[in-house]
Amino acid sequence: MSIRFDGKVAIVTGAGGGLGRQHALALAARGAKVVVNDLGRAVADGGETPAEAVVREIVAAGGEARANHASVTDVTAVEAMVNDTVAAWGRVDILVNNAGILRDKSFAKMTLDDFRLVVDVHLMGAAICTKAVWDLMKAQGYGRIVMTTSSSGLYGNFGQSNYGAAKMALVGLMQTLSIEGAKDNIRVNCLAPTAATAMTEGLLPAPALEKLKPEAVSPGLVFLVSEDAPTRTVLCAGAGTFERAYITMTQGVHVGFGAGTPERIAAAFDAISDRDDEYVPESGTVQGRNEVGKALQA
């Protein structure tokens, strides 16, 4: 069955170019009314902003869209964006937290200001936008939210300690919000894209960039915000390939505690690390239940 968004309203942040633009175009092409949010300003006086240019594309293709220039780190501006959207279209069904920046340097050379700035935009920006739509989605009994994570957060990448920390934090935010939103049909997922955008220009060779078109990622986004979307999913996407990432836990080994415990951990570390029968806990409380259960058995 075709995935459609007729009657649905979506907000896509950082949608003036790159991945966000493709996400906005893809949602609009399937019937969504789209708020194209982007902080970018017009290159020349009186010219179009990036957000306005995307809106023009959507409207020219027969869709409905509105431009918005709020910074995702500005609580008041984000709340105004959501209020304006509801005033115009009555609801918000989909939020795509896509806005982001890079300030790459090795940790030794990175300033704390650059660390904080990246965390503010990626993590706090997503939290601010999500908070602004959360009660509305609860009242509607419907919501689809996507956080944009990254393999740099899931697995690390040299020179991206700030970016990686923010992106992994978004996975933690997704994990908890998916639990809290379940009773109100709010599904929260993460998308980990690999795409050639302004943020990745110069980091990859030309043949790879040609394969890594942003439009090859957006089908994953469309799936993650669909009516039948999963929840608590980390979907990786790039060059037309899609993978799923999991945060798992091994069965573990009870070695007790007290004198000599560090040495017993060292001796049992291979067994502790054994991935046979590893699993994905349904919540953070599973760790404690596993540990207490093994202690009681011992």
Closest-CA residue to 72 (of 119, 23, 19): 119
What span, in angstroms and rounded, lies between the C-alpha atoms of 221 and 219?
5
Rg of the chain taking only CA atoms, in angstroms: 21
Spatial contact of 104 and 115, defined as CB atoms under 8 Å apart: no
Query: Is-catalytic flag, 163?
Result: yes
Cα–Cα distances in Å, from 215 out to 104, 128, 278? 25, 27, 35
Phi, psi angles (nearest 5°) of residue 64 = -120, 135
Which of 142, 163, 246, 279 is flagged as catalytic? 163
CB neighbours of residue 175 within 10 Å:
17
- Cβ count near 280 (within 10 Å): 10
How many CB atoms lie under 10 A from the CB of residue 82? 20
Residues marked active site are found at: 163
